C-alpha cells in the first residue's frame, strides 16, 4: 500500500461519492462536492490515493484563524490501515499553513471510532449540538493549539 494525498479534483468526485454513500447515512451529493471544490473559496478538499484509486478524502474550511473539518472518510475496505490518521494529519498541516490556529468539527455522539481518532490528535469534546444530524446529536470537538507535532 502506498498512499498519496492530493487536492480533490473534478475527476475524483465519482469515486468520492461512492465512498460517501457507503459510509454516511445521509450522504452529500456529487453536486455538493463539486460546489465545494469549484465555488467555495474557503474550502480545501483532499483525496487519499492508492495506485490512483480514491480510498479516502477529507475537507476543511479555513476562515480567518479558524479551520472547520467538514468531512473525513475512508472507504470501508481501506479502514483500519492508518489512512484516516494520514488524512487528518494532512488537513491539520494544511490548516496550519493557511493561518489557522484552532480547528473544530462535529461528529455523531455514537461515532466512537472517529472520536478516538480526533482525540489522538488533541481534539477535545466541548459541547453538543442537539439533532445536528436530524436523527442524532453532534459532539463538538476543538483542537486549540496548531500546529500539533506530527503524530504519524
Ligand X SMILES: CC(C)(COP(=O)(O)OP(=O)(O)OC[C@H]1O[C@@H](n2cnc3c(N)ncnc32)[C@H](O)[C@@H]1OP(=O)(O)O)[C@@H](O)C(=O)NCCC(=O)NCCS
Which listed residue (3, 27, 42, 82) binds ligand X by CB under 6 A? 82
Task: Please say if 45 is a catalytic residue.
Answer: no
126 within 8 A of 137, measured Cβ to Cβ: no
Which listed residue (47, 73, 92, 143) binds ligand X by CB under 6 A? 73
- Taking CB atoms, the residue at the shortest distance from ligand X is 84
Determine the Cα–Cα distance for residues 9 and 7; give it in Å rounded to an integer: 6
Q: Which residues from 107-136 bind ligand X, rule CB under 6 A?
A: 107, 111-114, 116-117, 120
- Region at 94 (left for phi over 0; alpha for psi -120 to 50; beta for the rest): alpha
User: Closest Cα to residue 93, out of 121, 126, 113?
Assistant: 121
Which residues sit at the interface with ligand X, rule CB under 6 A?
A: 23, 72-74, 79-85, 107, 111-114, 116-117, 120
Amino acid at each position: 500500500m502506498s498512499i498519496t494525498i492530493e487536492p480533490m479534483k473534478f475527476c475524483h468526485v465519482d469515486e468520492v461519492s461512492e465512498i460517501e454513500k457507503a459510509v454516511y447515512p445521509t450522504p452529500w451529493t456529487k453536486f455538493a462536492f463539486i460546489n465545494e471544490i469549484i465555488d467555495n473559496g474557503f474550502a480545501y478538499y483532499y483525496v487519499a490515493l492508492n495506485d490512483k484509486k480514491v480510498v479516502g478524502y477529507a475537507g476543511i474550511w479555513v476562515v480567518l484563524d479558524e479551520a472547520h473539518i467538514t468531512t473525513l472518510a475512508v472507504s470501508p475496505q481501506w479502514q483500519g490501515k492508518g489512512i484516516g490518521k494520514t488524512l487528518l494529519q494532512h488537513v491539520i498541516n494544511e490548516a496550519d499553513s493557511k493561518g489557522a490556529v484552532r480547528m473544530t468539527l462535529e461528529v455523531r455522539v455514537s461515532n466512537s471510532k472517529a472520536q478516538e481518532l480526533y482525540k489522538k490528535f488533541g481534539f477535545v469534546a466541548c459541547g453538543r449540538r442537539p439533532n445536528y444530524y436530524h436523527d442524532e446529536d453532534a459532539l463538538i470537538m476543538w483542537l486549540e493549539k496548531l500546529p500539533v507535532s506530527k503524530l504519524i
